[in-house]
Amino acid sequence: MTEALRQVTHINNVALSEDGAAVVIIDQTRLPNDTVYLTLHKAEDMYDAIFQLKVRGAPAIGICAAYSIYCLARQIKAADYTGFLAEFQRQKEYLNSSRPTAVNLSWALNRMEKVVTANSHKSIEEIVGLLREEAQKIHDEDVAMCLAISEHGLTLIKDGDGILTHCNAGPLATSRYGTALGPLLLGKERGMEFRVFADETRPLLQGARLTSYELHKAGIDVTLICDNMASIVMKNGWIQACFVGCDRVAANGDAANKIGTSGVAILAKHYNIPFYVLGPTSTFDLSCKTGEDIEIELRDPAEIREKFYKEPMALKDVKCYNPAFDVTDHSLITAIVTEKGICYPPYDKSIAALFR
């Protein structure tokens, strides 16, 4: 393994501070030019880090949320369990309101809350200690899940393949190998070579700023393209598979991911290219029967109009529609890769079996 790959694969993008009182994250909005670590003590800073995409990627958001609510629980001054629970739930709901689409946020916070409610007979000090253990478990489990997803995903591609990816689902968005990028990083470690075409992913450029950064550092052949160039690279025969992550998967296999993903899937279907969604089972939301039940986050129009530009690229009065995600219909997805195995159509049956 090269030193460059080791640095990328094992980047510590979310962690507890040494004293356990704060969450330390890499500010992803500053990449690729500046590597800046932020130390989050206050609830407002934790909310802002998630909302402003300083920490992003569904699994990484879940890990950050777990550590954050633990740190906030340490700060609660309550005379009894009832008071502690009320304040814990208030802080939990506040953090949960930062981003609605990535299910890992609510999943991690609900899991932390269960620790509190299941141990009402214990002292507050003991409960806080258990919360730290649970947050660490969530992080450790994600590391193991990413490796398992990478192993399963690697069986779907071969040495020399061309892969198209959208947004960012590498170590920065998760832990260790990542999800959609995991098979590529794992394959590289094992001597395989791939040609990756990374969509820039408008309007926040996660593909340009983060995916191309991670792959280049790992020594993987990566070519950055604008989102509207995906069709031509497919037509040219340069793509053998599409790998994307996911932020929420419905019970029927419909998958929400970064805006533009559904367009990639439609193109892949046209050119008869396999389209794979990779993510941990924590991103599945069986309460959503279909993608129609997934809430889509709408973001600030300024992200389209002026972010990353020296001057605005549109007049201030021009209306902008800025959904953060879209939903890819299950009929366009070749397979969904999880840490427990690969789900194939019909997804209502294979996903149900996954959780049986």
Residue 175's pLDDT is: 82
Q: Give percent above pLDDT 90 in the chain.
A: 92
Q: Domain range spanning residue 200?
A: 157-354
Own/partner long-range contacts of 224-231 (Cβ < 8 Å, ≥24 apart):
224/198, 224/200, 225/197, 225/198, 225/199, 225/200, 226/199, 226/200, 226/202, 227/166, 227/199, 227/200, 227/201, 227/202, 227/260, 227/263, 230/164, 230/166, 230/197, 230/199, 230/263, 230/264, 230/267, 231/267
Which tens digits make up the pLDDT trace of 308-356? 999 999 999 999 999 999 999 999 999 999 999 999 999 999 999 999 8
Is 6 a member of any domain? no
H/E run at residue 213 = helix 212-217
Looking at the structure, tell me whether residues 204 and 260 fall in a common domain.
yes
In this structure, what token pair is assigned to residue 151? 């192993």
Final residue before a domain boundary, out of 146, 173, 208:
146
Tell me, yes or no, whether 63 and 142 share the same domain.
yes
Residue 216 lies inside a defined structural domain of this protein: yes
Give me the pLDDT at residue 7, please.
40
Residues facing 323 on adjacent strands: 298
Asked if 130 and 189 sit in the same domain, the reply is no
Same-domain pairing of 125 and 161:
no
pLDDT of residue 224: 98
Q: What is the pLDDT of residue 101?
A: 75
**Same domain as 116, residue 28:** yes
Structure tokens at 28: 């992803």
Mark which of 90, 119, 146 sits at the end of a domain: 146
Reported as a single tens digit per residue, the pLDDT across 49-61 is: 999 999 998 889 9
Which carries the bigger pLDDT value, residue 328 or residue 3? 328
- How confident is the model at residue 10, as a pLDDT? 56
- CATH code, 200: 3.40.50.10470
Tell me, yes or no, whether 314 and 168 share the same domain.
Answer: yes
Determine phi and psi for 165, rounding to 5 degrees. Answer: -130, 160
User: Tell me: the pLDDT tens digits for 196-211?
Assistant: 999 999 999 999 999 9
Residue 213 lies in a domain: yes
Residue 134: band (very low, low, confident or very high) from pLDDT cuts 50, 70, 90: very high
CATH number at residue 46: 1.20.120.420
- Measured CA distances, 333 to 12, 113, 348 (Å): 31, 34, 13
> 92 and 229: one domain?
no
Residue 6 has pLDDT above 60, yes or no: no
State the pLDDT confidence band at 5, using cuts at 50, 70 and 90.
very low
- Give me the catalytic one of 199, 247, 285, 326: 247
For a pLDDT cut of 70, what percent of the chain falls above it? 97
Average pLDDT, the chain: 94
Total domain count, the chain: 2
| Domain assignment present for 195 | yes
Local confidence band at 113 (pLDDT 50, 70, 90 cut-offs): very high
- If asked whether residues 172 and 307 sit together in one domain, one would say yes
Q: Which of 123, 146, 169 is the last residue of a domain?
A: 146
- 247 catalytic? Reply is yes
Residue 1 pLDDT greater than 60, yes or no: no
Q: Are residues 317 and 194 in the same domain?
A: yes
Q: Residues 141, 168: one domain? A: no
